[in-house]
C-alpha cells in the first residue's frame, strides 16, 4: 500500500515475541485480515493482539497510544485497547510495536446493528465523553494522526489534487462543487478537544447487534470536534444519521465541517488506495455517494 512499507510476516513476529516477550511466545499466532492501512495486526492466543506499524514514519503512534490511552480509557463508556506491552525497535524491525488486549467483535455495518438509531446514540455518547476529557497537553494534529483535526482550509490543496486524479472514477464536477461549498464554512474557533480521528466502520466493533469497542487510535489528537462526525457518512444514513446528529447536539457549521472533512478524506484515499486496498476504496466510494446525495437533497429542498 505504501512505497516505504516494511515487510512483516509471522516468522518476524515470532522472533520479536521470543526475544522481548517470552511469556507470550508460545501462544497461537495468526494474522488478522484487515483493511487497516497503518498496522499489521496479529491475534495472539485468545486475549491478545499485536500491532506493528507498516511504516517507520508512523511509529510515533505507538508512543502516543502508550502515553494517552491509559488516561482516556477509564473515562470512556466503551472498551478501547489500552496497550499491555511495548516492543522495542530492532535491527530487523526498526519500529516500536504494541501488545494489546483483543476486544471481541465484528466490523460495524448498518445491517449489523439490532437498532441503528440506538447505536448511533451510543456512539454519540462515546464521542461526547471523549470530548469532555481535559485536552491539556494532548497532541496537536500532525503527521502522527494524518492531520486529522486541522481546519478544512489546510486540506484544500490535497483535496483538489485528489479530485484532479479521479477523472473517470467519479463525477468530478459534482464533488468539486460539494467540496467548495463545505470548505467555505467558518473554521472552528473553540478550544481543541480530544478526537479519535478515524471513526470508520473498521474501527468500530459490534457484538450481538451492539457497539462494543473502539479500536485503532492512530488518529488520536486534539483538534476540531467536527472530525468525529465521520460516521454520519461512512456508516449511518437516514434516521440513524439524524439520531447521531441529534444526540451530539452539534450546530450547523460543525455539521457541515464534518461533512466536508468526510468528503476530503474519501477523495484523498480513493486514488491513493485505488489498486491496493479494496476495503478503503469501497468505503471511499460509498462516502462520496452519500455526501453527494446529501448535497442534492438539500439543493432540492432549497429550490422547492
Q: Domain residues of the chain, as ranges?
A: 10-101, 106-303
The three grid cell numbers given for residue 100, joined into one nine-digit string:
494489546
The three grid cell numbers given for residue 53, joined into one nine-digit string:
506499524
51-70: pLDDT as tens digits: 999 988 778 899 999 999 99
Task: Identify the CATH number of the domain defined by range 10-101.
Answer: 3.30.200.20
pTM of the model: 0.94
The beta-strand segments (E) located in the chain are 29-31, 39-44, 48-53, 85-87, 97-101, 106-107, 193-195, 204-207, 210-214, 221-223
Average model confidence (pLDDT) across the chain? 94
Per DSSP, helices labelled H in 166-209 are 172-183
Confidence of residue 282 (pLDDT cuts 50, 70, 90): very high
Architecture of domain 106-303 in CATH? Alpha-Beta Complex (3.90)
Confidence of residue 302 (pLDDT cuts 50, 70, 90): low
Confidence of residue 1 (pLDDT cuts 50, 70, 90): low
Q: Please count the other Cβ atoms lying within 10 Å of the Cβ belonging to residue 156.
A: 14
125-154: pLDDT as tens digits: 999 999 999 999 999 999 999 999 999 999
CA-nearest of 157, 138, 223 to 187 is 223
CA distance 212 to 77: 9
CA-nearest of 238, 242, 129, 253 to 194 is 129
Amino acid at each position: 500500500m505504501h512505497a516505504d512499507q516494511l515487510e512483516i510476516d509471522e516468522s518476524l513476529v515470532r522472533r520479536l515475541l521470543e526475544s522481548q516477550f517470552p511469556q507470550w511466545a508460545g501462544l497461537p499466532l495468526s494474522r488478522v485480515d484487515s483493511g487497516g492501512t497503518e498496522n499489521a495486526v496479529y491475534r495472539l492466543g485468545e486475549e491478545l493482539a499485536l500491532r506493528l506499524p507498516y511504516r517507520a514514519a508512523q511509529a510515533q503512534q505507538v508512543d502516543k497510544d502508550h502515553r494517552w490511552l491509559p488516561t482516556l480509557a477509564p473515562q470512556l463508556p466503551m472498551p478501547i485497547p489500552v496497550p499491555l506491552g511495548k516492543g522495542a525497535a530492532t535491527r530487523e524491525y526498526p519500529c516500536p510495536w504494541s501488545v494489546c488486549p483483543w476486544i471481541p467483535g465484528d466490523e460495524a455495518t448498518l445491517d449489523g446493528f439490532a437498532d441503528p438509531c440506538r447505536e448511533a446514540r451510543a456512539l454519540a455518547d462515546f464521542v461526547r465523553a471523549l470530548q469532555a476529557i481535559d485536552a491539556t497537553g494532548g497532541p496537536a494534529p500532525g503527521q502522527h494522526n494524518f492531520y486529522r483535526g486541522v481546519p478544512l482550509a489546510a486540506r484544500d490543496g490535497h483535496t483538489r489534487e485528489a479530485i484532479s486524479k479521479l477523472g473517470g472514477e467519479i463525477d468530478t464536477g459534482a464533488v468539486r462543487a460539494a467540496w467548495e461549498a463545505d470548505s467555505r464554512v467558518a473554521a472552528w474557533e473553540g478550544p481543541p478537544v480530544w478526537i479519535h480521528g478515524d471513526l470508520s466502520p473498521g474501527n468500530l466493533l459490534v457484538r450481538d447487534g451492539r457497539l462494543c469497542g473502539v479500536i485503532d487510535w492512530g488518529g488520536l489528537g486534539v483538534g476540531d470536534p467536527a472530525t468525529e462526525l465521520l460516521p454520519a457518512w461512512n456508516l449511518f444514513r437516514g434516521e440513524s444519521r439524524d439520531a447521531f446528529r441529534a444526540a451530539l447536539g452539534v450546530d450547523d457549521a460543525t455539521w457541515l465541517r464534518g461533512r466536508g472533512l468526510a468528503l476530503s478524506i474519501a477523495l484523498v484515499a480513493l486514488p491513493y488506495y485505488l489498486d491496493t486496498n479494496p476495503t478503503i476504496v469501497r468505503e471511499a466510494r460509498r462516502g462520496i455517494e452519500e455526501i453527494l446525495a446529501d448535497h442534492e437533497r438539500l439543493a432540492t429542498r432549497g429550490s422547492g
